[in-house]
Structure formats: C-alpha cells, structure tokens
C-alpha cells in the first residue's frame, strides 16, 4: 500500500488534520474521511461545480484539488456557511425563491454565491450568470437561482 500523507488544515474555522493517499482529491477526503458530505460529486473533472469549496478565499472545485495540496490552507465548505444564529441570508433566499429542486447542485451553488458576493456585493444579472456559469443545474433552468442571488445581494447590502 502506498505511503499515506499527513495533512494539517483548518476546515470551517476548526483545526483539522487527516491522512490521505497522494492520489486522493480534496473532495474524496472531505466526503469519505472527514464525513463532510455537503460537497457533492457531479463530474469529478471540474465541469459541474457541485463540489465547490472556498480555499484560502478562492472558490475551487474540490475534485480538482489534491488533498495533499490542502496542507496549511483554510477551507470553507457549505457546512461552514450558516451562521451561529441560523441560516445565512444566501441560504434563506434560495429557500424563499424556490431556487432548488433536487438540491444536488444547491450546496456548490451556495458556496459559489458566497464567493461571488464576498467579491462583488452588487452584481448585475449578467455578473451572476457569468460567475455561476461553472455550476451546472439540470432542474431549475436557472431562473429562480438568479433571482435568489440578486435578492440575497440586495438583502446583504441592506444588512451591513
């Protein structure tokens, strides 16, 4: 058996370490080793965004990150998005706008939306569509998601 590697990270604000095989992706370790199954696998090659996490402030497809690359980094998964007092406004707006059907794309989308709004608090419809173009959703036709994101942006601007 190949040599397993010890990796130290911070996940959702808590220090975490794990052992992994060099060929394992961050997605596999999050799901299979850490039990954080909020990141989903839709394609395993960077085409769908279902596995999105934020790594050191940057939105990444965790299926394309080797687990060993996470050494020393800080990772936010969808499980780390909600606030101590409850749902994040982004999550609330997805619910209010019925912006999910099956929900498998939703977790990655919520992470991607968080990264968008951290980076651009006042996006236009086009900005939203461009930023989220790496996240496939097969159920909704995107309409209600775009509305939810624009509404979340507005609500978050009012909140600060």
Partner 1 sequence: MTEKTPTLDTASESKYRIIGKRVDRYDAADKVTGQAVYGADVHPSNLLYGKVLRSPHAHARILSIDTSAAEALEGVHAVITGADLPSVSDRIVDLGETATSLRYQSDNILAKDKALYFGHAIAAVSATQPYIAEEAVSLIKVEYEILPPVLDVRKAMRPDSTLLHDDIFTDELGQKSTQASNVASHIRHAQGDVEAGFRQADVIIEHEFETTMVHQGYIEPHNATAIYNPSGQITIWCSTQGSFGVRSQTSDVLDVPISSVHVIPTEIGGGFGGKNSIYLEPLAVLLSKKSNNRPVKLTMTRAESLAATGPTSGSYIRVKLGADANGHLTAAKLYLAYEAGAFPGSPVGSAAGSMISEYRISNVLIDGYDVVVNKPRTEAYRAPGTSNAVFAVETVVDELCEKLGMDPIAFRLLNAAKEGDRRPDGPTHPRIGFIETLQAAQSHDHYQTPLDGKYRGRGVACGYWGNWGGRSSVSASMNADGTISLITGSIDLSGTRTTTAMQLAETLGIDLEDIVPQVADTNSVSNTEGTYGSRTTFATGWAAHKLGCKLIDAVKERAALLWDIPVDTVDYEDGCIFSKANRLTFKDISKYLDETGGPLMVSATSFEGGHGPSATTHIVDVEVDPDTGKVDILRYTAIQDVGKAIHPDFVEGQIQGGVVQGIGWALNEGYFYNDEGQLLNANFLDYRMPTFLDVPMIEAVLVEVSNPRHPYGVRGVGEVPIVPPPAAVANAIHDAIGVRLTALPMSPARVLEAVWEQTPSAYLG
Which entry of partner 1, ligand FES, none binds 155, CB below 5 to 8 A by partner kind?
none
Which entry of partner 1, ligand FES, none binds 114, CB below 5 to 8 A by partner kind?
none
Closer to partner 1 at the Cβ: 59 or 100? 100
Interface characters, 134-153, with ligand FES (x: CB under 6 A): ---xxxx-------------
Asked whether the beta carbons of 72 and 15 are under 8 A apart, the reply is no
Asked whether the beta carbons of 37 and 31 are under 8 A apart, the reply is yes
> Which of 40-79 are b and which e, b meaning 16 or more Cβ less than 10 Å from the residue's Cβ?
bbbeeeeebbbbbbbbeeebbbbbebbbbebeebebbbbb
Say how far residue 136 (Cα) sits from the centre of its chain: 13
Segment interacting with ligand FES, rule: CB under 6 A, options 6-14, 45-53, 71-79, 150-158: 45-53
Which entry of ligand FES, partner 1, none binds 147, CB below 5 to 8 A by partner kind?
partner 1
Which entry of ligand FES, partner 1, none binds 38, CB below 5 to 8 A by partner kind?
partner 1
Dihedral of CA atoms 91, 53, 118, 147 in degrees, nearest 10, equals -40
Residues of the shown chain interacting with ligand FES in the complex, contacts defined by CB under 6 A: 41-44, 46-51, 61, 63, 100-106, 137-140
């Amino acid at each position: 058996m190949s040599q397993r590697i010890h990796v130290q990270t911070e996940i959702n604000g808590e220090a975490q370490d794990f052992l992994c095989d060099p060929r394992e992706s961050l997605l596999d370790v999050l799901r299979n080793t850490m039990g954080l199954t909020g990141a989903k696998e839709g394609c395993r090659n960077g085409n769908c965004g279902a596995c999105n996490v934020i790594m050191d402030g940057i939105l990444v497809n965790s299926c394309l990150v080797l687990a060993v690359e996470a050494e020393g980094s800080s990772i936010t998964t969808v499980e780390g998005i909600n606030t101590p007092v409850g749902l994040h406004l982004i999550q609330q707006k997805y619910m209010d706008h019925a912006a999910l059907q099956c929900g498998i794309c939703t977790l990655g989308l919520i992470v991607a939306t968080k990264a968008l709004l951290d980076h651009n608090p006042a996006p236009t419809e086009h900005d939203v569509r461009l930023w989220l173009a790496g996240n496939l959703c097969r159920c909704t036709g995107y309409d209600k998601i775009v509305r939810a994101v624009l509404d979340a942006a507005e609500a978050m601007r009012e909140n600060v």
